[in-house]
Structure 1
Amino acid sequence: MAAPQQQEDDSEDDMDPIKILLPDNLNGAPDLHQGTPEQELWPAATTLFTLLDNRSTGPLSPILDTISGGSTHGALRILELGSGTGIVGIAAAVTLGAEVTVTDLPHVIPNLQFNVDANADVLASRGGTVNVAALRWGEDADVEGVGREFDLVLASDVVYYDHLYEPLLKTLRSLMLGEGRKMVFVMAHLRRWKKDSAFFKRAKKFFNVEVVHVDSPCEGF
């Protein structure tokens, strides 16, 4: 999946507004207006947000129906990697009434928690919950910390720095590969460079990789 384009909302009811805020120096975090990758709202995140909002009739519908049918613990359990602002994970909790864990590097956690707290009312009204946790790709201890009891793993624009390809794949293997695990990984990706293909070529050695949606080109990218 790549590049966002706003689509009409085909869901049965409109999703309540979600607040995403970028406070300055929250709890000692770096200035969140400096424009570092985890502090931006990236195009692929917008696409994934829209697809979740159009969950009833959009391209994710068959995937979500299959996962929901196979879940043995009621609400879907979702893990988001590289959450950044947290908009995708919060949207998943709101639209799906899911139990979501949003994760990123330790210094991003204060802003993630800020945005989760800012959306407490809408989350409660939709029956969704969001937990915040630090997860550094490639670190087995961090995976053990968040656990592996998830139905769905989400990510957007995480294939960005090539030196993080292997750590990301290591984390995905640790999460998803193993007897009895049936997790699905849904990632929105904006193709920028030829080097991106190296990640997907490597990923195909471990996982079944399928493109389920392609957006129109995004202006400016």
Structure 2
Amino acid sequence: MVNTVCDDDFVIGNKPIGLNVEASQGPPTGIHLSNVLSLRQDIDNLGLAGKIWQSAYTLQSYFSPDNELVLDPPSPIPATYYKNDNDNDGHNGTDDKPYTILELGAGTGYCGIALANMLGPQCQVYITDLEPVIPLIEENVAAQHNPNGAQVFCERLHWGNKQDCKRLMDKVGGRFDLVVISDCVYFTELFDILMDTLLDLCIEDSDTKVVIGYKCRSLEKETGFWDLHFGRYFDYEPARIIGDNSKQNSDDGDDDGNSSDDDDSNNGRPLGYEEQIYVFVGSRRPGNQVKAADDRFALLMFCAMDY
């Protein structure tokens, strides 16, 4: 019975009638990356799960310390866990507990692999999806994961399956530090089970952060996830550009030393606004602060229209 449900959800989520998508050719406009991963895509067999979606590149930029952007809120991953020139292990602290990350609905595994390559071996990245997708993730991990990076585990996680969630939670001692979601908010039929899984993974008082990469495609349908599901249980905000280190570290002016008029043109704008891609950073509300509905998303989309 479980396998039948899993198969049904795989078809609903990944092989809709009239599917007509092409493999990704790289990051969207405005997203500049120094290390774009070359992963195998498999739309013929896996449908939507076999394509690298734009939010994956945007999340790579959000988490990357090399993007030269100052973002608010910044990456929730402590800086000590990133690899750098002075610390090949990517961890300067004394805490022996690994920093644990789980990606939901990972598809090709792009976001999880990119994250693992930025971090040191003191981190663990669990890249999850339905069973039919796991072989593609494993293939891409074998091809593109830096062995000096974070530990990577490819695991089945069927949304709405409490046993899957418990199995993974038990592996990390009862809580994840970060849950990442990339381009998974598109089918209303899956909103309930996606939300159930988020609540199972982000237990109350756990301080688990959630980072969602979201591409706006059908605002009328997708608003329901934010207002009636995620926003009820999670307090969240969009990642905005508040500065550019590449400009701050340059002369920032013309030959006479005058600043150009558009130096701050990006300031205050959401990361990925050029392609209507947004990165939301959230954490679970205390039980006594759960809302009947939340209209923050509608307000954010209205404000984004000004850009």
Q: Where on the TM-score scale, by shorter chain, does this alignment land: which range?
A: 0.7 to 0.9
Q: Which residue of 2 aligns with 1:86?
A: 109
Aligned residues between the structures? 200
SS class of match (2:57): helix
Q: Relative contact order, CA 8 A, sep 6+: which one is greater?
A: 1
Q: Does 1:63 align with 2:86?
A: no
Distance between the aligned counterparts of 1:20 and 1:6, measured in 2? 21
Match of 2:303 in 1: none
Once residues 149 and 217 of structure 1 are traced to their aligned partners in structure 2, the CA distance between those partners, rounded to angstroms, is 35
Q: Does 1:207 align with 2:225?
A: no
Q: Distance in 2 between matches of 1:119 and 1:73?
A: 27
Match for residue 134 of structure 1? 156
Match of 2:192 among 155, 163, 166: 166
Q: Secondary structure at the match of 2:125?
A: strand
Residues 3-152 of structure 1 aligned to structure 2 (within 5 Å): 4-8=28-32, 15=35, 18-22=37-41, 32-34=43-45, 36-54=47-65, 57-59=69-71, 61=74, 63-65=76-78, 72-97=95-120, 98-120=123-145, 123-125=146-148, 127-147=149-169, 148-152=174-178
**Higher strand share goes to which structure?**
2
CA distance in structure 1 between the aligned counterparts of 2:211 and 2:94, rounded to whole angstroms = 17
CA RMSD of aligned residues (A): 2.8
Offset of residue 37 of structure 1 = 1.0
State the alpha-carbon separation in 1 of the partners of residues 95 and 225 from structure 2.
32
Q: Using a 3 Å threshold, how does the CA distance of structure 1 residues 164 and 67 change in structure 2: closer, same or farther? A: farther
Cα distance in structure 1, aligned partners of 2:210 and 2:94: 15
- Aligned-partner Cα distance in 1 for 2:70–2:190: 30
Deviation at 1:22, TM superposition (A): 3.3
Shift, 1:36, TM fit: 1.1
* Normalised TM-score (structure 1): 0.79
1:100–1:131 CA contact under 8 A, matched in 2: yes
8 Å Cα contact 2:74/2:239 also seen in 1: no
Which residue matches 1:26? none
Contiguous gaps of at least 5 residues in structure 1: 24-31
Q: Deviations over 1:108-159 (max 9, x none)?
A: 0110111111124xx213x311100000111101101211431111111110
**CA distance in structure 1 between the aligned counterparts of 2:274 and 2:117, rounded to whole angstroms:** 28
Aligned-residue offset at 1:70: 11
What is the match of residue 156 of structure 1? 182
Cα shift at 1:170: 0.4
Q: Can you give the 5+ residue segments of structure 2 that lack an aligned partner in the other structure? A: 1-26, 82-91, 241-269, 277-307
Q: Secondary structure at the match of 1:195?
A: helix
